[in-house]
Structure 1
């Protein structure tokens, strides 16, 4: 099977990157951090106008008419720049929630007991049923201190919240959750690619003892391992987007989570002491990767799915 991008897919990827470079550059990223969980509604509507949320809707319904592989490419670019907001939930609500496709309505969705961007959302849905997650008779949601300044979190009490952690196969794993996990994996892939590029660029320009730090073998090995980790995750995510197989999506999420977290850590290592400072963007990638890794199929649930599939395969060939 040929997983190389078509010319149209390359153009889509380049177009989204150009849009985000224009509308969400480093200055905008830092402004979003300082805003402390306030969503840029103008940017959200611009994303809607560009077809970000309506990408997979049929053209007859006002959408772009593309498929899951193209959505993965778009979300990879979003992850690359750490675009904030409930992107996955709003994208998946397009065609179901009025205004979501156009970016006029911000939709978030409960993932177990946690929900992100609750204060900024116009519509909040339950994870499995799609019904309202916050009802008037429910106790007030409790703010949770998020490690990522660009992902405000709340815990939903009582029946609205469900389980204490992100759901896995036992928590209503279905097409919606599988797609959410895959798009989250695509965001992780974009972040891993960005931190790999950042580490290599820094290793080429930063000098110690009269030569670039990239000339030292230890740094070379770190950068090479980052690239391999990212490309392995890319192959898995792209393949899962074509097959839409739940087990392959679980494997892709595992690999993308590992790539995002470990590449951010290695990028920080390449930067040395300056990588630990607030001014460097490396910590933002690491913190977002930590949060994403625990949402929409965390590692333990994905590993259970993989183990169950291997067990069934072994039993079938015995």
Structure 2
């Protein structure tokens, strides 16, 4: 299969990146981490105005009328920027929950026994009886534990999570390469040392492998392809962020750096949409079914 972005898809990706650079840049990210954990409603409405949530809603219903490949590109950019909030839940609610498509209504959902941004949400999909707040690893993803049986994850939610993980994998690869070129030891950029170069090369390989899998799954929408993409994207995000921390050394653990925030968000995302185990089970079942 060949997958090449069209001019319109590139324009969409670049437009979202520019929007986030204006509305949620590195300084805004640091300010959000330092301040009380609150959802920026003005930013949420700006996302709605840009069509973020209504992207896959038919034009006849007031949406943009695009498909999963475009949604994946948009969510990749959100992951790259560490955009906070129940993005996937609100996106999936567009057309079903009034105001969700426009960014006027914040929607969250019970997902695998957890609910993100429960206190900030206007609408919650799923039963939250007995919900208990948890101390989240990620300072920009407040969590509640919700008792009860977990429902089967929506494959689209799985794919959008994979896209966000891909965004983190790509971003930490960029950060590691930038630091490796700029930081010097013994009169040479640290990227000239083999150990650092190997870390950066491994991050790039995992990120690009995950990119191929995520983009292909967006085209086929096959549950097994989505499960495989999720596994590869989770690995690329978590291992990439950990290796990026190694490249940065102690600097990566400081609040002035975004590296540790990517690692923490990547860890939290691995618990979404059934988690890694659910995707492993889907992929294993598909492999067994195809065995003669």
State the 1:312 CA deviation. Answer: 1.0
- Displaced runs of 4 or more, over 3 A: none
Whole-angstrom distance in 2 between the partners of 1:36 and 1:181: 29
Match for residue 253 of structure 1 among 193, 214, 230: 230
Aligned to 2:95: 95
Shift of 1:112: 2.6
3-state SS of paired residue (2:111): coil
1:262 matched residue in structure 2: 239
Give SS of 1:38's match. coil
- Normalised by the length of structure 2, the TM-score is 0.98
2:148 to 144, 148, 162: 162
What's the secondary structure of 2:133's corresponding residue? strand
Which consecutive unaligned segments of at least 5 residues does structure 2 have? none
1:268 Cα offset (Å): 0.4
Question: Are the aligned partners of 2:56 and 2:63 in contact in 1 as well (CA < 8 Å)?
Answer: yes
Supply the distance in 1 between the matched residues of 2:233 and 2:262 (Cα, whole angstroms): 13
1:254-301 deviation line (CA, Å, top 9, x unaligned): 000000000000100001121122222111000000000111131112
3-state DSSP class of the match of 1:13?
helix
Q: CA-to-partner distance for each residue in 1:86-132, whole Å, 9 max, x for gaps?
A: 00000000000000000000000001321000010000001xxxxxx
Q: How does 1:1-318 map to 2 (within 5 A)?
A: 1-126=1-126, 133-134=127-128, 138-139=129-130, 141-156=131-146, 161-163=147-149, 167=150, 171-173=151-153, 177-314=154-291, 317=292
Supply the RMSD in Å over aligned alpha carbons. 1.1
Task: Write the deviation string for residues 179-236 of structure 1: whole angstroms up to 9, x where unpaired.
Answer: 0000000000000000000000000010000010000011111101100000000000
CA distance in 2, matches of 1:181, 1:94: 17
Following superposition, the deviation at residue 12 of structure 1 comes to 0.3
5+ long unaligned stretches in structure 1? 127-132
Q: Quick check: 2:112–2:274 contact (8 Å CA) kept in 1?
A: no
* Contact 2:108/2:123, CA 8 A, preserved across alignment: yes
Native 8 Å contact 2:86 2:106 kept in 1: yes
Task: State the shift of 1:162 in Å.
Answer: 2.1
Contact 2:30 2:256 in 1 (8 A): no
Q: Supply the distance in 2 between the matched residues of 1:278 and 1:31 (Cα, whole angstroms).
A: 11
Provide the C-alpha distance between the structure 2 equivalents of 1:114 and 1:297, rounded to a whole number of angstroms: 10
- Describe the superposition over 1:36-72 as per-residue Cα deviations: whole angstroms up to 9, x where unpaired: 3200000000000000000001111110000000000
Contact 1:253 1:297 in 2 (8 A): no
Work out the number of aligned pairs and report it.
292
Instruction: Describe the SS at the equivalent of 2:33.
Output: helix
